[in-house]
Amino acid sequence: MRIVMLGPPGAGKGTYASRLTKILGVPHISTGDMVREEIRAQTELGRKIKQYSDKGELVPDEIIIQLLSNRLEKPDAEKGYILDGFPRTINQAEALDKISKVDLVINLNVPDDIIITRLSNRVVCRKCGAIYNLLTLKPKKEGVCDKCGGELYQRRDDKPEVIKERLEVYRKKTEPLIDYYRRKGVLKDVRCDSLMTPPEVIVEQIMKIINEEEKKGKD
């Protein structure tokens, strides 16, 4: 199944996708991770991208569409995928339509106050990308990744000023995608109204939707 995770920054797209990938056996493709990987590798492209991502702005469509379409050509994406952080503009969604058919879009609804609290308390593993939250999803040992022992750090774009900008960018550029996919009949809503809802609960709701969709596909 080809799935898109849609929702504001901090909605939990990456957290849920990294769990769903294990259950479903299809790759979790995060354009945010790909962007950070390019920046870390200090490629020419990485240097260009950094100016945008540090400020919470979107990387230009043509760059990100190129990165994503290269990734989707890899053999592991043939059986399906979970896209996290892509598409983020109508332009990107139209480009995706040209290279692949989307079966299901999970739209995560999360109130702004939860997003801001979550993002300001988020830390990420430098080595494996695992996501933690200092309020709700703490690592066993402070500053150290449970999974691989890597160092945990706060993303540069998780600073309060940048969070505000990212939310504005989301409202303006990404939110129109909700209507875009609703009209195609592939959008399903999932709500998260509490900071304390464990990821497993949401993952279970998403799995229920996926199973129903798969059943429909077979009928």
Residues annotated catalytic, as ranges: 13, 88, 122, 155, 166
Q: Which residue is nearest to ligand ADP (CB)?
A: 32
Q: Please, which of residues 97-126 interact with Zn ion by CB under 5 A?
A: 125
- Distance from C-alpha of 132 to C-alpha of 141, rounded to nearest angstrom: 11
Report the residue count for the chain.
Answer: 219
Interface pick for Zn ion out of 46, 139, 150, 199 (rule CB under 5 A) = 150
CA dist 107 and 13 (Å) reads 9
Contacts of 15 (CB under 8 A, 6+ apart): 131, 137, 199
Q: Which is nearer to Zn ion, 137 or 195 (CB)?
A: 137
Using CB distances below 5 to 8 A depending on partner kind, what does residue 145 bind out of Zn ion, ligand ADP, none? Zn ion
Instruction: Read off the DSSP letter of residue 8.
Output: S
Binding range to ligand ADP, per CB under 6 A, among 19-27, 83-91, 99-107, 136-144: 83-91
Q: What's the rounded Cα separation, in Å, for the pair 162 and 168?
A: 10
β-strand partners of 104: 3
Mark residues 13-32: x for contact with ligand ADP by CB under 6 A, - for none.
------------------xx
DSSP, collapsed to helix, strand or coil, labels residue 86 as: coil
Residue whose tokens read 């949401």: 202
Q: Tell me how far, at minimum, the Cβ of 20 lies from ligand ADP, in Å.
A: 16
Q: Where do contacts with ligand ADP occur on this chain (CB under 6 A)?
A: 9, 31-32, 35, 52-53, 56-59, 64, 85-86, 88, 92, 157, 166
